[in-house]
Amino acid sequence: MSSTHLSPDPSSAAGSAPTKTTFRAHTDIAFIKYWGKKDEVLRLPENGSISMKLADLYTTTTVEFDPQLKQDVVKINGLVESGEELRVIQHLQRVRDLATQVSLPLATASARVVSNNNFPTGSGLSSSGSGFAALTLAATRAIGLRLSQKELSILARQGSGSACRAVCGGYVEWHDADTSEGSFSETLFPADHWTLSDVVVVVSQDRKTVGTSTAAHRTAGSSPFFITRLQRINQKILAVKTAIAEKNFGQLGQLIEAEALEFHSIMLTSQPAQIALLPGTIQVMHQVLQLRSKGIPCYFTLNTGHNIHVLTLPTHADLVADSLQQLPLVEWVVFTKTVGDPVQVSDHLL
């Protein structure tokens, strides 16, 4: 990471006393998916991606570095043994390494971390993206670092790829690059450029059947269609950016739905096959097609899990949500929309 902006935060206490910091970072929904990695350690994706940040699905994380503490203590969704603690501790170490470069007093301190999602974890709703974004923002601030937006994005990416986008707000682009320095995200358009509604449909709260995204990413290259995907991806990214710039919902919807189906085609044709779709997921897809045949503008997209996002215009959101809520295989729907940057909050979790 460049040291251009890497410096102690003059506004923070930056002493050796513990300072609690809490950030809330929203999840995003990828319009063009990050799928497959060029470099697994640095989390350099095979292609660039585009997403929209979501107002009502978020992770809140409090971090406190304390020189008196013997080791890092990590509590996620109320559990000390969440299965994710090792990955969190590795990320805390990246933050400590940066703090060591600028000789911050807390650079060798252990940390307490408490993190909660307000939505089901590990079910395809991008909890690792919002989780590692909130962790990056809270930990760097708590230790007394001041990083640029680009540096925060690069750092967050190393915890979880999609966190690279989740430190930004509105409509976000993660640039394709062969180096860690070049692989960061930026806001393409702020949230108030265009408010879209997203009806997030939960068909099961269970963890996804395909396991973690990290493991599933490794299978991408085994699909015979992956190369074709990569050959076409830059023109798709351009088309999505144009549709957002022109606020052309019909165009955007067609592109993101086709992208979601292409992405699942890659998963289905990988070795071993990654079958994430549940009966409820398919039921929602058919209902979206039905609604569209009646002139209601709505399009679906989904990640590696079974829960599914239905994008629509705010004027149609109630109708779309009501119609999906009534499906027998739908557990519940969360009604959300485009949102801006992550926020620092004063209600600490510890």
Q: Which residues lie near ligand DP6 (CB under 6 A)?
A: 30, 33-35, 43, 49, 126, 128-129, 160-162, 213-214, 217, 303-304
User: At closest approach, how far in Å is the CB of 118 from ligand DP6?
Assistant: 18
DSSP state of 309: E
User: At closest approach, how far in Å is the CB of 165 from ligand DP6?
Assistant: 7
Q: Which amino acid is residue 78, in one-letter code?
A: G
Of 162 and 219, which has the nearer Cβ to ligand DP6? Answer: 162
User: At closest approach, how far in Å is the CB of 207 from ligand DP6?
Assistant: 13
Q: Distance between terminal CA atoms of the chain?
A: 31
The pair of structure tokens assigned to 104 is 């911050």
User: At closest approach, how far in Å is the CB of 153 from ligand DP6?
Assistant: 13
Of 60 and 162, which has the nearer Cβ to ligand DP6? Answer: 162
The pair of structure tokens assigned to 254 is 């067609």
**Structural contact between residues 208 and 276, judged by C-beta atoms closer than 8 angstroms:** yes
Angle subtended at Cα 313 by Cα 312 and Cα 317, rounded to the nearest 5 degrees: 70
Of 92 and 104, which has the nearer Cβ to ligand DP6? Answer: 92
Of 104 and 260, which has the nearer Cβ to ligand DP6? Answer: 260
Of 99 and 266, which has the nearer Cβ to ligand DP6? Answer: 266
The pairs formed by 190-196 with CB atoms below 8 angstroms and a separation of 24 or more are: 190/340, 191/53, 191/338, 191/339, 191/340, 192/340, 193/244, 193/247, 194/244, 194/247, 194/338, 195/314, 195/337, 195/338, 196/52, 196/249, 196/311, 196/312, 196/313, 196/314, 196/337, 196/338
User: At closest approach, how far in Å is the CB of 128 from ligand DP6?
Assistant: 4
